[in-house]
Amino acid sequence: MSVPVIEVKKLSKNFTYHKKPEGLAGTFKALFRRETLIKEAVRDVSFTIDQGEFIGFVGPNGAGKTTTLKMLSGILYPTAGSVRVAGFDPARRQDEFKRKISIVMGQKSLVWPTLPAIETFNLLQKMYEVPDDVYRARLKQLAELMEVQDLLQIQVRKLSLGQRMKCELIAALLHDPQILFLDEPTIGLDVVSQKKIRSFLRQHNEAYGTTIILTSHNMDDVQGLCRRLIIINEGRLGYDGSIERIIAEHSQDKTVKVIFNKRTAAEDLAKVGQVIRHNPYEAEIAIPSEAVAERISALLAGFPVKDINITAVTLEEVIADIFSSGKKT
């Protein structure tokens, strides 16, 4: 039985803030009496993660994802509950703990923008006390995998966004952390850069068994990399399980897109399933998953079908439905 590398029990985080009425009168009133409010960013969250897992940690804006990652990495102190990461209490920020983890935030930089990336890498080597031979070999390998060997001597601010993110990941992995926290690592990147980042992360996880927790609004990132999904919404845990299971639970229908040789009527197609979109020569129909074979046979037998395409619901559609409806699963 494996021992979890991350254990979170009834974790909560509250933020205190003040409300001030508008205008000059409101400013004077606030000098003597301010209305204090409490925001429950994370509420009673519990989960465990084993070594080597690649976890998708998703939720809408303000759900508590980044706050949770900051508590797991020791940047924030919990209001209540307990956290153990690699056997340490993150809030104590012990040097040995900091060597075990790394965190990459898509909107904050690990590398100095006014210096070449190699200068940041050399500094990180000294900070983490990585032996020279190990450092050189690891940097060479990471730079080759990221295809940035020729960019290390260039000022970071002169690199493209995709190139900078590659340097961010190299900086995060130079000390060979056991656990990597990724907060929106592909935000703002083009499709090609996103694919290269995903490919690198997949290879690194498989080769080194690094535990990776990924937050992202890009469901291609999550579905392409993660086997397990943790959903947090309004600070509470909404789902913890496989991606396949959540899609199966929420994909009661399949979408059938049909092109016809001749004109068709929407009322006739209603016998096959729910008509989502229709014009005389094309239609999009929702059919219950358990009845697909029977309904498709009826469609082919009863209508002048030229082309047909059957698609299952995507993870992005499932997540959007959960967030918009407030469903729990």
pLDDT band at 2 (very low <50, low <70, confident <90, very high): low
How much is the pLDDT for 289?
78
- Show the DSSP H helices in the chain as ranges: 23-32, 65-72, 95-100, 117-128, 132-146, 161-173, 191-208, 219-225, 243-250, 266-269, 292-302, 315-325
Instruction: Give the Cα separation of 264 and 262 in Å (integer).
Output: 6
- Residues 135-165 have pLDDT tens digits of 999 999 999 999 999 999 999 999 998 999 9
What is the separation of C-alpha 169 from the centre of its chain, rounded to a whole number of angstroms?
16
Say how many Å lie between the first and final Cα of the chain, rounded.
27
How much is the pLDDT for 325?
62
Instruction: Give the Cα separation of 286 and 173 in Å (integer).
Output: 46
Mean pLDDT, the chain, rounded, equals 89
Percent over 90 (pLDDT), the chain: 58
With the C-alpha atoms ordered 261, 262, 263, 265, is the resulting torsion angle positive or negative? negative
Q: Is the pLDDT of residue 327 over 60?
A: no
- Domains annotated for the chain, with CATH where assigned, are 6-247 (3.40.50.300), 252-312 (3.30.70)
pLDDT band at 329 (very low <50, low <70, confident <90, very high): low
Pick the range with the lowest mean pLDDT from 103-112, 120-129, 166-175, 215-224: 103-112
pTM: 0.81
Which among 180, 16, 12, 153 is positioned nearest to 85, based on CA atoms?
Answer: 180
How much is the pLDDT for 100?
95
Helix (H) or strand (E) holding 182: strand 179-183
pLDDT band at 249 (very low <50, low <70, confident <90, very high): confident
Rounded alpha-carbon distances, angstroms, from residue 67 to 54, 59, 83, 241: 19, 12, 13, 21
- Residues 94-130 have pLDDT tens digits of 999 999 999 998 667 889 999 999 999 999 999 999 9
Q: Is the pLDDT of residue 328 over 60?
A: no
- The H helix count followed by the E strand count for the chain is 12, 13
